[in-house]
Chains A and B, each alone.
Chain A
């Protein structure tokens, strides 16, 4: 009797076991590169560490308490918030504008589509170096243009008032290509007949934009807003190359601050705590966005 139930369970679970076998490679990769580091980070955030990053002293929530009181961390949070605010809305509106332009049926439009999406093909490091030159106080393009126009020179990356803005401008430029491509894809997925039908009714361009294009594009817009938000929160490369968090911490975005805490100050505990806080913030923002935004999204 007992043997039979055992046999029964073995047989019943055959689908599950097959599924596990198929999933095994992904589970293995995810475990090594995602799950283990994630749990290790959470674990470390409760400890003070030695120089090699091993847990040394259990301090409970003290790392978090320390962070919430630290003015440096609050400054970094503020910079991150401003950075997200500068880059995401402008970046998306700009790429939407380009995508709408490039979606028109014109001769040679392929050239412009390639051009607008080309920043996607350039690495953050390479483009940051280019921007570094353009921002250069004496030989940079921007200051040259200003001097031609007889305007006062700006210390783009050296002035604490300007540095975050400068980094934001270069980030918008870097992200436009990707957003553009996704939005253009979304636009091209809209059934041409809808526009033809509205043309027979006599709808003008902006009426069509408001009542057909934007609602039909809303799933794509929603996706690109989510991705852009997460990307903005996680910006690192351009900070490292353009400003290294300076001047006077004005561009010390949270991921850069984590990096500095861990690999320059060797405070793996507080760095891990910051990473966990960033994770929670992104999680909350994304959940909020899904809750608020989804009502306005029309899935087919």
Chain B
């Protein structure tokens, strides 16, 4: 239960180009912190810097209260789970789990006791005598997890631990890892490229892109108020729909993708710049137009693809140059080529500056998507 503090951290391999630059973040004790980003964004490098497997080029890394820049990995009080699990193929599950204890010269009895406890916790008791190659992917994953837990280190680092599992097992392990982390109260730093994992597991998540922090915050805040177009499209599935937009101050309308005109409320028009914008809207905020809808508010689109997922229907259409998607709950009988009238509120829109990607308007009207506990009877 230690905090990890990254102050102005940078990493460069050739002393010219920073692969990670100016990372400032504090990971609180007992927090489940997720680093998420596309491949090659530097998230694994960052984790390895925290672990001490990569040199820190500049900046300060603090673990607990102490500066840890030059500490060797074993003095940093942490454990790590690798993507390929890094199990020792010539050792049994038991020996694999107790390897770290053996290194630290823990007594044999104590080793066995702790190994058995952890194996019990993860349901590995019956596999203790087996070699890793005799285990399934999920079981190997558990052994790797057990090895991290048994060390009782206050900080645990995980580098895409679930990416080699099938979808069902992955969903199961997600909740299992979360449960263990809560039970033990350890500080978890978890790297993934999967935004679903980030959304479902993290207390807070940090989105990295090209070595720079895009946004740090609670998953739901990031989903609702993405800081820039990259975050908007990276978090959420299907991603937020984006299109070029212009403000027409005379008509007090927003022109999205050259084809869609949305009226802007009078009190907001002054705050908007004339510069080119990017407008974004979540697929679930594109609602079906009803009979009462004014003809001018409707956006008629032609369906190019339909996916019915059982409890919801996702369909694509072309808006100007971009392909957009809408998500409606329920099973809708929509065919390719159908013309669908859509409706959206200006409030649900997210606006970014086209040049800098800075957000200038966050969605205010989240429709019927946020519920308090009072709703439950």
How far is A16 from B184 in the complex, measured between Cα atoms in Å? 63
Q: Which residues of A contact B79 (CB under 8 A)?
A: 200
B53 touches A207 (CB 8 A): no
B88 touches A199 (CB 8 A): no
How far is A216 from B79 in the complex, measured between Cα atoms in Å? 23
B78 touches A200 (CB 8 A): yes
B104 touches A201 (CB 8 A): yes
Known contacts A196-B53, A300-B133: A203-B103 contact under CB 8 Å: yes
Q: Separation in Å of the B91 CB from the closest CB of chain A?
A: 8
Residue in B closest to A195 when the chains form the complex, CB atoms:
B86
User: Chain B contact residues (Cβ within 8 angstroms of A): what range?
Assistant: 20 to 34
How far is A215 from B90 in the complex, measured between Cα atoms in Å? 7
B residues 74-131 touching A (CB-CB < 8 Å): 74-75, 78-80, 82, 84, 86, 88-91, 99-100, 103-104
Q: Separation in Å of the B152 CB from the closest CB of chain A?
A: 12
A193 touches B74 (CB 8 A): no
How far is A171 from B53 in the complex, measured between Cα atoms in Å? 42
How far is A199 from B103 in the complex, measured between Cα atoms in Å? 10
A201 touches B90 (CB 8 A): no
A residues 247-300 touching B (CB-CB < 8 Å): 298, 300
Q: Separation in Å of the A300 CB from the closest CB of chain B?
A: 5
How far is A37 from B100 in the complex, measured between Cα atoms in Å? 57
Interface string of A188-225 (1 = CB under 8 A from B): 00010110111111110001000110011010000000
B133 touches A200 (CB 8 A): no
B84 touches A191 (CB 8 A): yes
Residue in A closest to B48 when the chains form the complex, CB atoms:
A196
Q: Which residues of A contact B133 (CB under 8 A)?
A: 300
Report whether over half of chain A's contact residues are helix, strand or loop; otherwise say mixed.
helix
Residue of A191, A193, A202, A218 touching B103 (CB-CB under 8 A): A202
Residue of A201, A215, A218, A300 touching B99 (CB-CB under 8 A): A201
B88 touches A202 (CB 8 A): no
Residue in B closest to A215 when the chains form the complex, CB atoms:
B90
B192 within 8 A of A: no
A199 touches B53 (CB 8 A): yes
How far is A300 from B73 in the complex, measured between Cα atoms in Å? 27
B82 touches A298 (CB 8 A): no
How far is A212 from B104 in the complex, measured between Cα atoms in Å? 16
How far is A270 from B115 in the complex, measured between Cα atoms in Å? 64
A contact residues, total (Cβ < 8 Å): 19
How far is A193 from B88 in the complex, measured between Cα atoms in Å? 10
B151 within 8 A of A: yes
B86 touches A196 (CB 8 A): yes
Q: Separation in Å of the A40 CB from the closest CB of chain B?
A: 45
Residue of A191, A197, A207, A212 touching B80 (CB-CB under 8 A): A197
B372 within 8 A of A: no
How far is A202 from B99 in the complex, measured between Cα atoms in Å? 10
How far is A203 from B82 in the complex, measured between Cα atoms in Å? 17
Residue in B closest to A214 when the chains form the complex, CB atoms:
B90
Q: Which residues of B contact A212 (CB under 8 A)?
A: 88
Known contacts A196-B53, A199-B73: A216-B89 contact under CB 8 Å: yes
Q: Separation in Å of the A204 CB from the closest CB of chain B?
A: 8
A residues 39-60 touching B (CB-CB < 8 Å): none
B74 touches A201 (CB 8 A): yes
Q: Which residues of A contact B90 (CB under 8 A)?
A: 215-216, 218, 298
Q: Which residues of B contact A211 (CB under 8 A)?
A: 88, 91, 99
Q: Which residues of A contact B104 (CB under 8 A)?
A: 201-202
A207 touches B103 (CB 8 A): yes
Residue in B closest to A297 when the chains form the complex, CB atoms:
B90
B72 within 8 A of A: yes
Q: Separation in Å of the B136 CB from the closest CB of chain A?
A: 17
B82 touches A197 (CB 8 A): yes
B36 within 8 A of A: no
Give 22 CB contacts A-B under 8 Å. Answer: A193-B86, A194-B88, A196-B51, A196-B53, A197-B86, A197-B147, A198-B99, A198-B103, A200-B52, A200-B74, A200-B79, A200-B100, A201-B74, A201-B99, A201-B100, A201-B151, A202-B72, A202-B73, A202-B103, A207-B103, A211-B99, A298-B89
Q: Which residues of B contact A (CB under 8 A)?
A: 51-53, 72-75, 78-80, 82, 84, 86, 88-91, 99-100, 103-104, 133, 147, 151
Given contacts A197-B147, A211-B99, A300-B89, 8 further A-B pairs with CB under 8 A are A197-B82, A198-B103, A199-B74, A200-B78, A201-B104, A216-B90, A218-B90, A298-B90
Question: Can you list the 9 inter-chain pairs with the closest CB atoms, starting with the nearest?
Answer: A202-B74, A201-B100, A298-B90, A193-B86, A197-B86, A215-B90, A200-B73, A203-B103, A201-B103
